[in-house]
Amino acid sequence: MAPGNFSQVTEFILLGLSDRRELQVLSFTFFLLAYVMVLLGNILIMVTVRSDPKLSSPMYFLLCHLSFIDICCTSVISPRMLVDLLTQRKSILFADCIAQIFFLHFIGTSEMFLLTAMACDRYAAICKPLHYTTSMSSKVCWALVSACWAGGFLHSLVHTLLTVQLPFCGPHTIDNYFCDVPLVIQLACTDLSLTEGFMAVNSGLIALLCFLVLLTSYLFILLTVRARLAEGYWKVLSTCGSHMVVVTLFFGPCILIYLRLLSAFPSNRHICMTYTVFSPMMNPLIYTLRNKEVKVSMWRLWKHCRA
């Protein structure tokens, strides 16, 4: 289509989770509770880690940043989704839609890289203990976190610029509860062959590679523990298994959504819920309630606050 043959879309209409009023009220209650749990759980982790000098190892340093990212990630989606569940017409301005895309990919990709860094940290601590203090020094930890944020920013910037330059001439209805690249660019009035391929490489391939690194690191951890400490193998297996469940909830949908043809799924709202709602809600439970040191520190903090 020629550049002058389309009218600029100023807003998009979000179809949301459901058009039935009773389901909207039920969804609002559930997602409000989930959002509060994400905020309180991750803030508690951050306060606990920062207030206890005993939790100064690289693992807890990275965990603290993961909690901050989870708060940011769910805050990009949940507040607007909660408001839309109470309104009849769920519209979002074009500029707000692009901003949501940018911050979602910025924070989401940063979390992918950070989860990968956390897995590598556990690999270094368990499989290479003699070199751990030098390989995961304070400078290295800050460099890893900075690289995660920088990588997420560059990835998101490319996605955002790619979306902004597309011509939109209608329709302007998005079958989801937030703006995401696959569904938004399908509304563009142009051939999407190259855009689709680039999106698969820039998002799907990154998610897949990070997930494979995570799987490999956990596999090496299990093999190392089984060879050295047979009596602690089942405990480590249980911990790694719970971590992999949460990681799969985050990476699995991302790989499924982005590493495929755009027309494969007309709507992915239910798939998106796993990494926009459930994964941030599960992270505090999995990474802290199964950790004895964090639970002891939380109890100590509770007693200090009551004193």
Question: Rounded to whole angstroms, how far apart are CA atoms 115 and 88?
Answer: 38
DSSP label at 168?
A: B
Q: In which domain, by residue range, is 91 found?
A: 12-298
pLDDT-wise least confident of 43-47, 60-64, 110-114, 303-307? 303-307
The tokens for 110 are 């940063």
> How many domains are there within the chain?
1
In-domain check, residue 127:
yes
11 vs 267: which has the higher pLDDT: 11
Q: How do the residues of the chain divide into helix, strand and coil, expressed in percent and rounded to 5? A: 80, 5, 20
What integer is the mean pLDDT of 242-266? 75
The pLDDT confidence band at residue 7, using thresholds 50, 70 and 90, is: very low
Question: Rounded to whole angstroms, how far apart are CA atoms 286 and 284?
Answer: 6
In-domain check, residue 190:
yes
pLDDT for the residue numbered 111: 93
| pTM for this entry | 0.87
> Crossing angle of helices 292-306/279-288, nearest 10°?
90
pLDDT digit string, tens, across residues 119-141: 888 888 888 888 888 888 889 99
Q: What is the per-residue DSSP string for 71-131?
A: HHHHHHHHHHHHHHHT-SS-EEEHHHHHHHHHHHHHHHHHHHHHHHHHHHHHHHHHH-GGG
192 vs 2: which has the higher pLDDT: 192
In-domain check, residue 303:
no
In-domain check, residue 1:
no
CB 196 within 8 A of CB 99: no
In-domain check, residue 3:
no
In-domain check, residue 4:
no
pLDDT for the residue numbered 259: 77
pLDDT digit string, tens, across residues 190-244: 877 787 778 777 888 889 999 999 989 888 888 887 766 655 566 666 667 777 8
Tell me the CA end-to-end span of the chain in Å, nearest whole number: 70
- Can you give the CATH number for the domain in which 18 is found? 1.20.1070.10
Bridge partners of residue 93, in order along the sequence: 11
